[in-house]
Amino acid sequence: MIFDTHVHYDDSAFDEDRDELISSLPENGIGGFVNVCADYASIEPVLEIAKKYDYAYAALGIHPSDVEDMDEKKLENIEKLIKKRGSRVVAVGEIGLDYHYPEPFRAIQKKWFVEQIELALRVNKPVIIHSRDAAEDTQFTLDRYDFRELGGIVHCFSYSAALALHYVKRGFYIGIGGVITFKNARKLKEVVSMVPLESIVLETDCPYLAPEPYRGQRNSSLYLPWILRTVANLKGVSEEMVERVTTENAKRLYRID
């Protein structure tokens, strides 16, 4: 069984066949997934999906591109939902910094990044980090905390192998998705070669970032084997080993039995 550590099945791209697709995952070797929240409006559908399937879990948090409308009241509500008995929330995410577009302003992104890290510490849940074009500020923020107990994933990792190893040392897993199958992913291939398998988790980030040979199409956990195979080839180990170790990693991190 492969574990998909990062999906967005609440996305409207799955409106036509959501139930059918999610129901078909176990028979196709996908043993579980964490549906990660992006904006505030997605909280409810994300929780609903996690409630509906016993192999589905939720992560609650606000993506850096969607923090414009955040306020203390919403943050309090997220905390309440995470603490609720039987909530199936296993992480805070996705949170972080995205400087690809000029907005939201960096100061706003940083404020809610820090607020949500503090939230994760209060509720004792690992963090799922989204960081794009913001290597320095992300590192500066994360280095102020000790994640060796709490744990976390730097998802869709897009920086250098040296930085990946830095995060591994500080308690993070490195999230590897469809980009690893792209021909021009030289830097990411180096990351996978350098980072120990014990610190790698697999993810699709579906509906985005479908691996080759499906690049550009709607992604789903059904394409995880293409990511897994590429990782196995780069590490020079069997696919069975990558499957076993990355699933153990995901369950250890998310504290799933």
**Which three-class secondary structure state does DSSP give residue 83?**
helix
Which of residues 8 and 189 has its CB atom nearest to Ni ion in the complex? 8
Rounded to a whole number of angstroms, the minimum distance from the CB of residue 205 to Ni ion is: 4
Which of 77, 62, 154, 75 is CA-nearest to residue 109? 62
The string of DSSP letters for 151-195 reads -EEEET--S-HHHHHHHHHTTEEEEE-GGGGSTT-HHHHHHHHHS
Rounded to a whole number of angstroms, the minimum distance from the CB of residue 138 to Ni ion is: 15
205 near Ni ion, rule: CB under 5 A: yes
Which of residues 171 and 177 has its CB atom nearest to Ni ion in the complex? 177
66 near Ni ion, rule: CB under 5 A: no
Q: Which stretch binds Ni ion (CB under 5 A): 119-127, 163-171, 204-212, 240-248?
A: 204-212
Q: Which stretch binds Ni ion (CB under 5 A): 11-19, 108-116, 203-211, 225-233?
A: 203-211
Residue nearest to Ni ion (CB): 205
Q: Which stretch binds Ni ion (CB under 5 A): 104-112, 136-144, 195-203, 205-213?
A: 205-213
List the structure tokens of 251: 């369950």
What residues contact residue 84 under an 8 Å CB cut-off, 6+ apart? none
Q: Give the footprint of Ni ion on this chain (CB under 5 A).
A: 205
